[in-house]
């Protein structure tokens, strides 16, 4: 467009102030983070390791499987270290720390922890897939579940992000979880602790908060919210971060579609069943069945 001369573009750039305003800008001098795309590409490599050939454009060759996965592992280790170091370095510089070298140590520890946990994560995912197959009469095979079920994808990404979150990696776990959210409609904070055999059926609209603790073999349906009832503030009116705000769900519980369960002191007991569209802000004991009151039959 002719009216957009170099002079007008320069003025627009100055008005925007993209690299020197209060709006975050990712520059080599000031931030030097890898960027969202790099983190998503790294996640794709993790999926290729955990589910070889299932999320790619073509199957991998049987006789080259070992070499292929070992190559991916090396790439992931190198790229993950680089990204985590940048994230720690960014936070360090925000706190005016220079030259302490602690960022490298923290990055190495986080990478080592996740890679050492990867076999256990793989085992938990196998339990998740089994729970999906056994819990959904429409499921025809494990391959169908891995390739198409949004709940399994969201939980897979969560288990990777949660490992990084546990080791206090900044930024990256949340980028991973929000990528899963955008792809599946399932919002799981990377801080949530989720046991094996977890199945989210359908999944759209599920919200699981940061301080949730979910036990083994729990099943939830679409639209379930495990959220906070209120937010504590300090004397100056600022939100207090890190305190227990979200409910716990014990082993073998089932929570049906649209249920809302709130509060850091709320516990859903082992084997409890929570009906659809139930609103709960108090604990229920093991084996309890909680449903909305049914309407009275019409009197003729």
In the chain, CATH 1.10.3130.10 covers 31-185
Quote the pTM value. 0.87
Q: How many CB atoms lie within 10 A of CB 243?
A: 11
Is the pLDDT higher at 239 or at 139?
Answer: 139
pLDDT attached to residue 141? 96
pLDDT attached to residue 34? 66
Among candidate residues 140, 176, 145, 141, the one with its CA nearest the CA of residue 160: 176
| pLDDT tens per residue across span 136-154 | 999 999 999 999 999 999 9
pLDDT attached to residue 242? 79
- Is pLDDT of 22 > 60? no
Round to whole Å and give the CA distance between 128 and 146: 10
CA distance to 5, 13, 24, 159, 171, per residue, from 19 (Å)? 21, 10, 8, 35, 20
Topology, domain 31-185: 1.10.3130
Mean per-residue pLDDT for 13-40? Answer: 67
Q: How confident is the model at residue 31 (pLDDT cuts 50, 70, 90)?
A: low
For the chain, how many helices (H) and strands (E)? 7, 14
Round to whole Å and give the CA distance between 102 and 64: 39
pLDDT attached to residue 193? 98
At 32 the three-state DSSP class reads: coil
Q: Share the mean pLDDT of the chain.
A: 89
pLDDT attached to residue 270? 98
pLDDT attached to residue 98? 62
227 has which bridge partners? Answer: 262
| pLDDT tens per residue across span 148-185 | 999 999 999 999 999 999 999 999 999 999 999 999 99
Percent of the chain with pLDDT over 90: 68
Provide the terminal-to-terminal Cα distance of the chain, rounded to the nearest Å.
Answer: 73
In the chain, CATH 2.160.10.10 covers 205-293
Round to whole Å and give the CA distance between 226 and 186: 12
Round to whole Å and give the CA distance between 262 and 227: 5
- CATH number corresponding to 205-293: 2.160.10.10
- Is pLDDT of 40 > 70? yes
pLDDT attached to residue 93? 77
């Amino acid at each position: 467009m002719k009216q957009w001369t170099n002079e007008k573009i320069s003025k627009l750039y100055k008005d925007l102030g993209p690299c020197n305003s209060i709006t975050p800008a990712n520059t080599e001098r000031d931030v030097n983070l890898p960027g969202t795309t790099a983190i998503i590409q790294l996640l794709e490599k993790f999926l290729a390791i955990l589910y070889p050939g299932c999320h790619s454009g073509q199957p991998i060759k049987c006789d080259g499987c070992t070499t292929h996965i070992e190559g991916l592992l090396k790439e992931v280790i190198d790229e993950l270290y680089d990204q985590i170091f940048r994230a720690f370095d960014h936070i360090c510089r925000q706190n005016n720390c220079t030259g302490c070298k602690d960022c490298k140590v923290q990055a190495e520890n986080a990478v080592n922890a996740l890679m050492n946990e990867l076999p256990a994560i793989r085992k938990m995912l196998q339990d998740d897939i089994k729970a999906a197959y056994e819990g959904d009469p429409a499921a025809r095979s494990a391959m169908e579940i891995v390739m198409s079920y949004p709940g399994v994808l969201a939980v897979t990404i969560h288990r990777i992000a949660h490992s990084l979150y546990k080791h206090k990696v900044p930024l990256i776990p949340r980028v991973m979880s929000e990528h899963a959210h955008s792809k599946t409609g399932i919002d799981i904070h990377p801080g949530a602790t989720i046991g094996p055999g977890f199945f989210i059926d359908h999944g759209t609209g599920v919200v699981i908060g940061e301080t949730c603790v979910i036990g083994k073999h729990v099943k939830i349906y679409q639209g379930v919210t495990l959220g906070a009832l209120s937010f504590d503030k300090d004397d100056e009116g600022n939100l207090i971060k890190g305190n227990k705000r979200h409910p716990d769900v014990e082993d073998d519980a089932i929570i049906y579609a649209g249920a809302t369960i709130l509060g850091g002191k709320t516990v859903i007991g082992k084997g409890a069943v929570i009906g659809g569209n139930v609103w709960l802000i108090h604990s229920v004991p093991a084996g309890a069945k909680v449903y909305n009151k049914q309407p009275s039959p019409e009197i003729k």
